[in-house]
Amino acid sequence: MNVEIYDLNNENVDLISAVLGINDENLKMIGDFYNAKVTFENGIISVDSQEVAQPIKAVFDKLIDIYRENEQIESQDLITVLHNSYYKQFIVSGIGSRKYYLRTTGQKRLYDSFEKNVITFAIGPAGTGKTFLAVCYAYSLLKQNVVRRIIITRPVVETGESLGFLPGDLREKVDPYLRPIYDSFEMLIGQENLQKMIEKNIIEIAPLAYMRGRTLNEACVILDEAQNTTPMQIKMFMTRLGFNSKMIITGDITQIDLPAFKQSGLIQAMRIVDGIDGVSIIHMHNYDVVRHPIVSKIIDAYEENLK
């Protein structure tokens, strides 16, 4: 028996189109999530199960609220609503009129941790915004004159060709490993501004080996792709922390590129430093992914397959 849960006859066409999704894909996604059939006919949304009628109605209530606030419903919005993790909070302006927001409750927890702790571990799958949120936070500290510099580093892990056999000088060899960091900054401040800040040594983007022997004062220091560090590398990095500094360590422990005989320093470090005051470990989840919705499905499929 079909249960009528929403009458959209008095709503405008744009709202209805946004709520239903392209080719009614939102109806299918909601139905799959609740193991029910959700249909739209003659302006009425119905579901074939009384048991889930109320929670599904609550989903449509939230989607309509999102549309009225933003005049659009993005595909990620529905995923976060279904997982009760929808969130939206402005954090920083980018180039032009671009504005960036926290998009999930997981991202909110992560950003709060940046502010409250000296060292934050951001752990989670690709697409959850770990690196970009770290860059946004570091840039906000710089604009407020809380820090004087932003330093971002990554381990250089050779996954096929040896760096020694690749063409070009050292920078040309390592830049491809650092490209995602450049991309994040260029989205935020533009390529020209990034180059100027690099030239003035306000922003430094370098391989992890360049951190050895340094003390990093008055800086926001970000270690990206930390799952590919060895235990000695990540210990070396964490002990570079100086006064009036913040440190953010990001990683995805499901995508370790180290040789099989090497232990991930990130996994060891999380176990060793857990419980130290001023250190926080935040785990992001599949429903925090803010890329194309299929990315979440791919992550779910791999996790299910590896059980």
Instruction: Please give the pLDDT value at position 291.
Output: 64
d(CA 122, CA 130): 6
Q: Which CATH code is given to the segment(s) 3-73?
A: 3.30.1370
Domain locations along the chain: 3-73, 104-305
The whole model's pTM is what? 0.83
List the beta bridge partners of residue 151: 204, 221
Choosing among 3.40.50.720, 3.40.50.300, 1.10.510.10, 3.40.50.1100, the CATH entry for 104-305 is: 3.40.50.300
Asked whether 3 and 50 are in contact (CB, 8 A), the reply is yes
Of the candidates 90, 131, 83, the residue with the CA atom closest to the CA atom of residue 108 = 90
Tokens 């606030």 sit on residue:
69
Instruction: Please give the pLDDT value at position 160.
Output: 37
Per-residue pLDDT of the chain (307 residues; tens, 9 = 90+): 789 999 999 999 999 999 999 999 999 999 998 999 999 999 999 999 999 999 999 999 999 999 999 899 987 889 889 988 899 899 988 887 788 899 999 999 999 999 999 999 999 998 899 999 999 999 999 999 999 999 999 887 643 334 444 444 455 556 677 788 888 899 899 999 999 999 999 999 888 888 989 999 999 999 999 999 999 999 999 999 999 999 999 999 989 988 887 899 999 999 999 999 999 999 998 878 876 656 666 767 776 776 6
